[in-house]
Structure formats: structure tokens, C-alpha cells
């Protein structure tokens, strides 16, 4: 059923004047008469009747008018739905973000929101360790995680977004050398540690820092989350060893950040997505990821010239 004919019919039913309908649609009056005649042939009923020069809506026309309005509205809605589908505006994107990958994710989210403001992004920030099994079971569209989480898997494609490093975080006015091969200068501070649950790789590398320097810290407070350890250092309670990405995401005014050598702890952060996905909105998010990180990723400097 031609939508333009329906528009002509509805307009004529309201005005009862073919000439007026023709003028408002910038066509000739015979064109309107012809289109109405074709619609009547298609329906098999008479839509209008004449009494002298006056045009009247027939009983069939009265019956069909609400149907025509409904069909035209559905046609209009269908056009909108198809347009939204083409633009990826239906559905949403589900994203899992490891705590140490927030900076990379926020950069993508900001750009995605500019390009596709109508697509909602549902975010799950994982404060504990992640596994490939969990990512697959949860069926996230996109994951910002450490490369080791999905490395070797044939279920994911990914791009590297960042290279994270370990850093020593101390109160801003505490004296410290640039060379971190000897940590004895930390004897005046307590060590702000982390709970081991959920962060085994991080804890292993922190212990390696102490062991290779034959240093035993003075243990003080233990925190459940890395940002809490950062806050404790900021308040002058001691020192901590954290991924540099955490310092980037949770900037504090009263700390200094000194990077350890890259050979001690370097982790590739990646943006990953399931192969064979079927989510057009997620495809647009992945396109943004590739626009930002497709060619290269930021690398943390090798020295402490940029210390905080």
C-alpha cells in the first residue's frame, strides 16, 4: 500500500477538497484524483462520494480513515526503526573494564559518546582479578583487560591500548633518589599493602621488587582496593607500590610517583571483543577503539623524568 496515496487520502478526507490537497502537495488536481482512484481500486471500496459540487467521505472512507492513519503511522515508525538500525542506535554495548584499564576505556567512551550519543554503554568495573572464563560466561561485548587474560585464546580479537608499569608511590615531600635499586631510604615509612585476593600477578611482582633488592618493608595498613592505598599515601600514612595506570586514573595532590624498570613489571593492556559477535552497536564501539588505538599505543617513559 503506497504511503503517498495514504497521505493524499487522509488530507482529502480532512479537507474534502481535492484542489486544496493538490496545492498543499505541489501537484495537479488530476494527479490527486488519479491517486485516490488507484487506492479505491486497490481496496475495492469507494472512499468518496459527490453531491453536486460537494465532496463527501463515503461509509467505506469513514471506515478506512482510522486504518489509513494507523498504517501511515506504522510506516513512519518503521522508517525510523530502520534508520536507527543502520546507525546502530538500537541496543546497547556492554563493557567489562579491569581497574587498571580505566584510562584507556574512558578515552574510548568519550569519543564514542560524541559519535553515537544515542547508544547506551553499560559498564562493569572489575576491582578483582579477571579470567577468560568469566569474560566468556558474562558475554560482554568489549573488555578492557590485561593481555594475559585472553592471550592465546581463539575466542577474542584485540588491540593493545597501553603498557602498564609498576611505580613507587610516596608522600610528595619525602626525599627519594632517582635510582630505585636500593629501597633503604623507605625505612622511615610504613608499607601500605594490598589484599592478595584477586590480584595474584600484581602481588607476585611487588614481592619480586622487594626480593631483588633484599628489602623487607615495615608493614602497616592493608587496603582492599588500589585507590584506597593511593589515598593512604596521599594522606601521609606511608608508601605503596602500584600500577602506574592507577596513579593516572586517581590523581592525588600530595604524592610522588617513581617508575620501576620496565623489565620488572610491564603488562600490555588491551581492548578485546568476542569473534563472531552479533551486535551492531558494539561494532561501532570497536570501530572507535580501532580509530584511537589501531596504529599504536601509549608507552610509559623508561625513566623518572616525568615523575609526579
Chain segment 214-259, per-residue pLDDT in tens = 999 999 888 888 889 999 999 999 999 998 988 888 888 899 999 9
Domains of the chain: 3-87 (1.10.10.10), 93-152+274-293 (3.40.190.10), 163-259 (3.40.190.10)
Helix or strand or coil: residue 256? strand
For 302, residues 6+ apart whose C-beta sits below 8 A from its C-beta are: 259, 261, 262
Residue (of 138, 136, 127) closest to 101 by Cα position: 127
Cα separation, 73 vs 54, whole angstroms = 29
pLDDT in tens, 3-56: 899 999 999 999 999 999 899 889 999 999 999 999 999 999 999 998 877 889
Average pLDDT, the chain: 85
Pairing label, strands 266-274, 142-146: antiparallel
What are the backbone angles phi and psi of residue 150, rounded to the nearest 5°?
-125, 5
Indicate the pTM of the whole model: 0.59
| Pairing outcome for strands 156-171 and 255-259 | antiparallel
pLDDT at 276 over 50: yes
- Cell output for 1: 500500500
State yes or no: pLDDT of 59 exceeds 80.
Answer: yes
Is the confidence at residue 140, as pLDDT, over 80? Answer: yes
pLDDT for the residue 231: 93
Backbone torsions φ then ψ of 285, nearest 5 degrees: -65, -40
pLDDT at 308: 42
CA distances (Å), origin 215, targets 178, 207, 233, 241: 17, 10, 19, 13
Q: Residue 82 pLDDT > 80, yes or no?
A: no
Instruction: Give residue 204's pLDDT band: very low, low, confident or very high (50, 70, 90).
Output: confident
Amino acid at each position: 500500500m503506497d504511503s503517498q496515496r495514504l497521505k493524499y487520502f487522509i488530507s482529502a478526507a480532512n479537507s474534502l477538497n481535492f484542489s486544496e490537497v493538490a496545492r498543499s502537495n505541489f501537484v495537479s488536481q488530476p494527479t490527486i484524483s488519479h491517486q485516490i482512484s488507484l487506492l479505491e481500486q486497490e481496496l475495492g471500496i469507494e472512499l468518496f462520494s459527490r453531491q453536486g459540487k460537494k465532496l463527501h467521505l463515503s461509509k467505506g472512507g469513514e471506515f478506512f480513515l482510522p486504518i489509513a492513519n494507523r498504517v501511515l503511522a506504522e510506516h513512519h515508525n518503521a522508517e525510523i526503526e530502520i534508520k536507527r538500525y543502520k546507525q546502530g542506535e538500537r541496543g546497547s554495548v556492554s563493557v567489562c573494564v579491569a581497574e587498571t584499564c580505566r584510562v584507556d576505556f574512558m578515552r574510548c567512551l568519550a569519543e564514542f559518546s560524541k559519535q553515537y550519543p544515542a547508544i547506551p554503554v553499560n559498564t562493569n568495573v572489575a576491582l578483582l582479578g579477571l579470567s577468560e572464563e568469566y569474560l566468556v560466561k558474562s558475554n560482554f561485548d568489549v573488555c578492557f583487560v590485561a593481555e594475559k587474560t585472553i592471550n592465546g585464546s581463539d575466542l577474542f580479537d584485540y588491540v593493545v591500548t597501553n603498557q602498564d608499569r609498576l611505580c613507587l608511590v610516596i608522600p610528595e615531600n619525602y626525599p627519594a633518589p632517582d635510582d630505585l635499586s636500593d629501597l633503604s631510604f623507605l625505612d622511615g615509612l610504613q608499607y601500605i599493602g594490598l589484599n592478595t585476593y584477586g590480584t595474584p600477578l600484581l602481588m607476585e611482582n611487588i614481592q619480586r621488587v622487594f626480593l631483588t633488592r633484599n628489602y623487607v618493608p615495615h608493614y602497616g595498613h592493608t587496603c582492599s582496593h588500589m585507590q584506597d592505598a593511593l589515598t593512604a599515601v596521599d594522606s601521609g600514612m606511608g608508601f605503596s607500590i602500584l600500577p602506574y595506570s592507577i596513579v593516572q586514573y586517581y590523581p592525588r595532590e600530595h604524592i610522588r610517583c617513581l617508575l620501576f624498570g620496565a623489565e620488572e613489571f610491564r603488562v600490555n593492556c588491551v581492548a578485546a571483543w568476542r569473534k563472531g559477535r552479533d551486535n551492531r552497536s558494539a561494532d561501532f564501539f570497536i570501530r572507535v577503539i580501532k580509530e584511537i588505538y589501531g596504529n599504536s599505543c601509549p608507552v610509559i617513559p623508561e625513566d623518572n623524568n616525568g615523575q609526579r
